[in-house]
Structures are given as structure tokens and as C-alpha cells.
Amino acid sequence: MEKQVSLTAQNRLIIFGLIFSTILIVAIAFFATFNIQKNLNEGYQNFAQVVSKILAAESDELIAKTPKTEIYSTLKKHADSIIYSSNDVVFVEFLDNQGNSIYKTSENNKMHNITASSPMGTNGSVIVGLSGNIITKISKTTRASMLFVFTVAWIIFAFVVLINTYLITRELRILHDGVHKISSGEFGFNIKDKDVSSEVKELFNSFNNMSNKLHIYEEQNIEQLTLERNKLEAVLMSIANGVVVCDNNDNVVMVNNHAHKLLDLEENQILYMKIQNYIDTAGNYCFKDKIEEFKDTPLEVMENKPLEFNIQVDKRVIKSIISPMFTRSKDYLGYIIVLIDMTKEAEIDAMKSTFISNVSHELRTPVTVLRSYIDTLYNYGNDFDYNTQKEFIGTINQEIIRLNGMVNDILDFSRMEANADMEKSLNNINYLVDSCVERVKALTKEHNLTINVEKSDDIPEFLFNYDGIERALTNLLSNAIKYSPDNGQITVSIKKNGENAEVSVTDQGCGIAPEYHDKIFDRFYRVENSAHTVKGTGLGLHLVKTTIEKYHNGKVFVISKVGKGSTFGFTLPINVYDESLV
């Protein structure tokens, strides 16, 4: 299809002016030619009349001097001389008083256009016929001259109009180029006002003044806009969660550092690409379907309830929240994807499930044993001898201690999760260690274990919560007893380490692999393998860590090698200031 060319109003006006001027010039030329031709015809008619009068006067004078017998020959000779002497005279005819022709010359095959007659006194009259050749030549010459003059005048007029139009459009083109420069952001661009009219020069000066003011305004605002953008980027980059900003064409326009880390991307690797093209470590387009779902949902719904879903990248569980992005005037700009690392929470949820299962199993076992032994004693106790009854009661006591420990762990965990306060008082750490060792000695008899205590006498009394530290140390001792081999030895050490009191429990058990050291104190976490078969809640070491680090500003530690036993311990600051004691 050919492109249609549309005429502007200015072009239409120029064409209309040229057509109108052409019609006007043609009309004027036709009118002038017509008037000139009319005047020429009238003048030629008068010329013919003058010729006839002159001829009549000459002929009358000749007749008066000529005898009557020679009048015919005299008139003939005079008429023929006139015919031969003038190309414009076609014929001459003499008439008597009665109107009869005396003599008429031949017309020489020439057409006469104009005739004129004049009386010859009392001797009749003369008729003269003129061809009009002079008039024809004059008319042709006049028309040609008029056509040339008006053609030249039209050409000059059209040339002047075109030149003037070119000059005007040139000035408009210059102004148009200037406006284009401004619209493209080239503020400060000035138009040269050389060789332009005074009115346009004033317009150019106003344009240049506006351009300069825009340039000044731009310089003043660029710094402010840059500052605001830098602030925005600084805030975005410092957000702990990942943030991906997309425009309304799904192109990523901004990504913070944490999002690069969560999505396992190099810096700016996904910038200006479509977010749907992102592929996770499993090779899946994890955002594609969710973005389509987001775009198919009305914006007002997404604004009130953002779309939430989980993706998995490199064994990390990432919670993604997509919400629309608007201006203050509620114009839709795109959407923001917030990425939250939920790996820890997912692991904790899995641990909680395991914890519930373990607790259910662990609680069921002592309850079942207690019910069975108590029921047996109740129904058949009189049939057993003293030693058998004592054995039953000992078993019941061990299960009660075990059940009590589980319940205490659960209660302590609930209390610490609720951020309950632990009041501190001046206590002796050596006395606490001796008390704890004495309490667990009953548990060592079953496996014939020995507990050695290494104490330091240079540790003064200091502030700590006696019950909390006692439970923590008892927990460590209980774990050491559980995992120690028969006839083994457990060592409890108390020493001063700088400004801290250090308490540690060393066993000769199976040990713990290095990869588990960082997780062993996490809640619900348990090392389950062929070397660790002792059941439990997975809360004991977490409670120790929470008690020591959260409530006493101390530090827990573990030193262990597989097959060479383990050392669990903690440090407590000695110089603790307590305003209540001042």
C-alpha cells in the first residue's frame, strides 16, 4: 500500500494562493487584451474613415481640374496608384451622385474587413475597403507582449511566494529542531537568530530563554533526583530480604544484593531481563506460572492480598511475595517481588514434626512401662519377694526420673520461648557443680561410670540464676552419662578463663562429627545415625544454649572427634554489675 501524502494547512494555503493569483492574472490579461483589441478596432475604423476622406478630397480636386472625358481615366489611375502603394487598401470604388459605380478597383484576392465612404463634394462619393492586416499584426504583437508580461509577472510573483514560504518554513524548521532537542532532554540548546525576521527573532529569543531556564532547572534537580535515587538504592540494597523490581513489561529494573544471593546470581545478571526467564537450580521456570497468575488477577485483589508462594534454589526454601507497584496517583508501574529465606523455618518445621513424634514416642515408653510395672505390683505384689519388689520399684523410679526430665525440658522450652525473666543472685559455681554431680550419681551406677571433678578455688561468687545454670549443667551431665560406655569416666572441669568462669563436661563416648557442631545446639536437632541411638526430645542442648547465651551473656562450646569422646561446656562472665546490690 502506497503511503498517502497529506498536505498541511500552510501548503494548501500556498497552492490556493498560486491558483488564485494565476486565475486573477489570466483574467486581467484577457480583459486588457480585449480592451486593447476593441480600441484598436475603433481606431482602425477611424483610420479607414480618414483615408476615405483624404481620398475623396484628392479625387474631388482631380475631377475639378480634369475634363469630363478624362474623369474615368484619372480616377482609375489615382485609385490604382493607391492600391499598389498600400498593402492594407483592398479596393477603391467611386460613385456618382446617384450612387452608381463610376470605377472600382480589383480586390487582389484580399478580404476586406473594414469599409469607409466619404462624399467628393458634388461629384459623388468614394468607398475604401481596408484588409485590417495592420490591426491583426498589432493585435498579435499586443497579445504576445501582454502574455509575456503577465507570464513574467506570474513567475516573479510565484517565485517571491515560494522564496517567502521557504524562508518562513526554514525558520519553522529551525524552531522545530530546537523543540525536538528540548523534548529529547537537551536542555540549554540555543537557536541562532541570524538572518531572520524581527518577529521570529523575538520568538527565537523567547525559546532560548526558556531553554536556558530548563537547563538551570535540570541542573538544580538532577543532583536532588540523584540523591533521592541513591537513597532509594541504599535502602533497597540494605534490606535484609531479597527485592526484585519489575516494570509493567516484566523487565527486571532493580535487584538488591540479597536477592542476588538468594537466587544464586552474579551481580546484575538478571537486570533488564524478563523475570519469567529465570531458571532455578533444578532447571524450572519457577516464576513463570506465578507471574501469569498475578497478571490474570485484578490489581485491586493483588493490592489487598499479595500473591505468596515458595520456590527452592540450591536447597534453600525461599518465600516469594508479589505485590503491584503504583504511583501516588494510582498509575500502575509494575510489581515487586520480595524474597524471604525460609530455609531455617522449614528446617524448624520439619524438626517440630520430628520433635512431636519423638516426644510422643518418648512419653509413651515410660508411661507404658510405669503402667505395666505398677499394674503388676498392684495385682501380684504379694506374690513377689522383697528383691523382686525392690527391682520393680527401682525401674519405676528410673522411668519417673526420665519422664520428669522430658516434662522439665518441655516446660523450660515453653518458658524460655515466652521470654520469661531469670533473676540473678550471688552464687558459688563450685557449690553448684558439686550439687549437680551428686544428683546424677544415681544414674551412673547402672553403667558403672565414674565422675571426676576438677575445681579451681580462685573463682569468686558472681551473679547468675542458680536454677537455670543447674538445669543446664545437669543436662550436660545427663547427656555424658547417656553416651558414655560402661565402666567409663566423666570429667567435670571448673576453671577461671580470663574474666569468665568456664565449666565443661568431658565424656568418653562415640563423639560427634565436625559437620554437626554448628547445628548441635539448634532446637529439635538431633544427630541420628548408627552411633547415636539414644532417643530424646532434641531440646536439651538448645535449652543450655538459650540459658547461657540469652540470659547470662555467656558462650557455649563443643569439642568432639568421632570415636574420641566429646567435651561440652559454657563460659559465664564473672564481673556482672547488678544495680539491686548497690
Cell numbers at residue 511, please? 563423639
Task: Give domain status of residue 220, yes or no.
Answer: no
Tell whether the model's pLDDT for residue 4 goes beyond 70.
Answer: no
What number of other Cβ atoms are within 10 A of residue 122's Cβ? 9
257 with 327, same domain: the answer is yes
What pLDDT score was predicted for residue 225? 62
* CATH number assigned to the domain comprising residue 482: 3.30.565.10
Query: 82, 105, 136: which is the final residue of a domain?
Result: 136
Tell whether the model's pLDDT for residue 569 goes beyond 90.
Answer: yes
456 with 567, same domain: the answer is yes
Tell whether the model's pLDDT for residue 197 goes beyond 70.
Answer: no
What number of other Cβ atoms are within 10 A of residue 98's Cβ? 6
Task: Give domain status of residue 512, yes or no.
Answer: yes
Q: Tens of pLDDT along 528-556?
A: 544 444 445 566 787 888 888 888 889 99
Q: Rounded to two decimals, what is the model's pTM?
A: 0.39
Residue 521 three-state SS: coil
293 with 425, same domain: the answer is no
Q: Tens of pLDDT along 272-311?
A: 888 888 888 778 888 888 888 888 888 888 888 888 888 8
Cβ atoms of 232 and 323 within 8 Å: the answer is no
Long-range contacts of 510-514 (CB under 8 A, 24+ apart): 510/483, 510/562, 510/563, 511/560, 511/561, 511/562, 511/563, 511/564, 511/565, 511/566, 512/558, 512/560, 512/562, 512/566, 513/562
474 with 409, same domain: the answer is yes
Task: Give domain status of residue 151, yes or no.
Answer: no
Pairwise CA distance, residues 533 & 246, whole Å = 51
Tell whether the model's pLDDT for residue 263 goes beyond 60.
Answer: yes
Task: Give domain status of residue 461, yes or no.
Answer: yes
pLDDT grade for 579, boundaries at 50, 70 and 90: very low
* Element of type H or E holding 503: strand 500-506
Task: Give domain status of residue 363, yes or no.
Answer: no
What pLDDT score was predicted for residue 198? 67
What pLDDT score was predicted for residue 302? 84
**Mean pLDDT, residues 252-265 taken together:** 84
**Mean pLDDT, residues 53-65 taken together:** 79
What number of other Cβ atoms are within 10 A of residue 178's Cβ? 20
Pairwise CA distance, residues 246 & 221, whole Å = 25
Task: Give domain status of residue 541, yes or no.
Answer: yes
**Mean pLDDT, residues 12-40 taken together:** 78
Higher per-residue pLDDT: 352 or 150:
150
Residue 412: closest CA among 565, 215, 544: 544
What is the CA angle 14-17-18, rounded to 5?
90
What pLDDT score was predicted for residue 556? 92
300 with 434, same domain: the answer is no
Residue in the block written with cell 520393680? 392
Tell whether the model's pLDDT for residue 351 goes beyond 60.
Answer: yes
* CATH number assigned to the domain comprising residue 266: 3.30.450.20
Query: 77, 111, 136: which is the final residue of a domain?
Result: 136
Tell whether the model's pLDDT for residue 353 goes beyond 50.
Answer: yes
* CATH number assigned to the domain comprising residue 34: 3.30.450
Angle between helices 386-417 and 466-483 (to 10 degrees): 130
459 with 392, same domain: the answer is yes
Q: Tens of pLDDT along 266-277?
A: 877 888 888 888
Cell numbers at residue 111, please? 478580404
405 with 537, same domain: the answer is yes
Pairwise CA distance, residues 106 & 84, whole Å = 11
Higher per-residue pLDDT: 244 or 62:
244
Tell whether the model's pLDDT for residue 493 goes beyond 90.
Answer: yes
Ranges of beta strands (E only) in 227-366 are 242-247, 252-255, 307-313, 316-326, 332-341
Q: Tens of pLDDT along 407-458?
A: 776 666 656 555 556 788 899 999 999 988 988 887 787 778 899 999 888 8
Query: 278, 310, 341: which is the final residue of a domain?
Result: 341
What pLDDT score was predicted for residue 428? 92
Task: Give domain status of residue 192, yes or no.
Answer: no
Q: Tens of pLDDT along 84-128?
A: 777 778 788 888 777 787 778 776 555 656 788 888 777 788 888
Cell numbers at residue 106, please? 480589383
Phi–psi pair at 117, nearest 5 degrees: -130, 150
What pLDDT score was predicted for residue 206? 77
What pLDDT score was predicted for residue 416? 57
337 with 390, same domain: the answer is no
Sheet architecture: strand order including 89-95:
101-104, 89-95, 125-130, 114-119
Buried b (16+ CB within 10 A) or exposed e, 125-147: bbbbbbbbeebeebbeebbeebe
Burial of residue 527, with CB atoms counted within 10 A of its CB: 0-12 exposed, 13-18 middle, 19 or more buried: middle
- Count the domains in the chain: 3
What number of other Cβ atoms are within 10 A of residue 485's Cβ? 13
Tell whether the model's pLDDT for residue 224 goes beyond 50.
Answer: yes
Residue 356 one-letter amino acid: I
Cβ atoms of 241 and 217 within 8 Å: the answer is no
What pLDDT score was predicted for residue 501? 92
Tell whether the model's pLDDT for residue 355 goes beyond 50.
Answer: yes
What pLDDT score was predicted for residue 431? 92
Highest average pLDDT, of 47-51, 56-60, 62-66, 561-565, comes from 561-565
Cβ atoms of 545 and 416 within 8 Å: the answer is no
Q: Tens of pLDDT along 506-520?
A: 998 888 888 887 778
CA-atom Rg of the chain in angstroms: 63
530 with 447, same domain: the answer is yes
392 with 304, same domain: the answer is no
What pLDDT score was predicted for residue 573? 92
Burial of residue 537, with CB atoms counted within 10 A of its CB: 0-12 exposed, 13-18 middle, 19 or more buried: buried
Residue in the block written with cell 540523584? 226
Task: Give domain status of residue 298, yes or no.
Answer: yes
Residue 470: closest CA among 514, 506, 422: 422
**Mean pLDDT, residues 21-30 taken together:** 79
**Mean pLDDT, residues 243-260 taken together:** 86
What pLDDT score was predicted for residue 567? 93
Domain that holds residue 83: 9-136
409 with 328, same domain: the answer is no
Mean of all residue pLDDT scores within the chain: 78
Pairwise CA distance, residues 553 & 572, whole Å = 7
322 with 421, same domain: the answer is no
For residue 418, what is the DSSP state? T
